[in-house]
Amino acid sequence: MASQRLTEQLLSNDPSAYISATQSPFLAAAAKGQLPKDVLGQWLANDRMYIHAYIGGLGNLLSFIQLPFKATERNNASPAKLLDWSIDALVNLRDEEQFFLATAAEYGLTIDLAATETKVEGLRRFESMFKNITGSDHILLPWLEAAIIFYATEKCYLDAWSWAKGQMAEVGEASNDADGGALRAKFIPQWSSPEFAKFVERLGNIIDEAVEREIAAHGEGVKARILRRATVTWHDVLVAEEAFWPKI
């Protein structure tokens, strides 16, 4: 029986914490069309600020990625693949913000934060996390913790809205929803799409393949050390994700 890949180990590490991060009354209400426009607007305002912090975090990551010296290794090395993913992520984030603005205008949603005090705790945690991204002191995979932050938050976001999509069965027309249909007609399909799932899986594969190469090169002894590093970061993201969903 093949051993679990790193991302599989992380996903099975603390099932209850993962459920708390990806299933909430807020998401259930979103799936049923029960979120009023003002509640949704304030959460989207927080999510938009999360996008801005995420962009800064990617900038920090890009500042210390070390690309391979040999030209023959350029396209296959994990840092190069992570660089390519990060560039695509930046493009996606800009498109996502434009999608936010266009959808908000279409449905009459206000997505500006009323004041700094209206930031949810999860946003504050992510802002700190992204701001403090640096290369680790570890010789093996110094970018691991940073990549885990991005993978964990993307995976949680995908699974959270996929779960919400699964709660949408047998609910009436989206146009009758409290938000006018913005979530069920536009946002939830966007955030649970196959394209998004492939994008998240791509990063997971980059991480897993890099870890497997290090284990092959340095022996099974490094496996537990890498898992310990990744688990600490994974847990921090789960805590932030749970706190990102407003209490309703």
- What pLDDT digit, counting tens, does each position of 100-117 carry? 999 999 999 999 987 677
* Residue-level pLDDT at 46: 97
Q: What percent of the chain has pLDDT over 90?
A: 83
* Residue-level pLDDT at 1: 46
Q: Are the beta carbons of 189 and 168 closer than 8 angstroms?
A: no
* Residue-level pLDDT at 74: 60
Does 40 score more than 60 pLDDT? yes
User: For residue 226, which amino acid is it?
Assistant: I
Mean pLDDT of 153-165: 98
At 73, list the tokens.
Answer: 């290794």
Mean pLDDT of 33-50: 96
Reduced to 3 states (helix: H, G, I; strand: E, B; else coil), residue 136 is coil
pLDDT one-digit tens code per residue, 166-208: 998 666 777 789 999 999 999 999 999 999 999 999 999 999 9
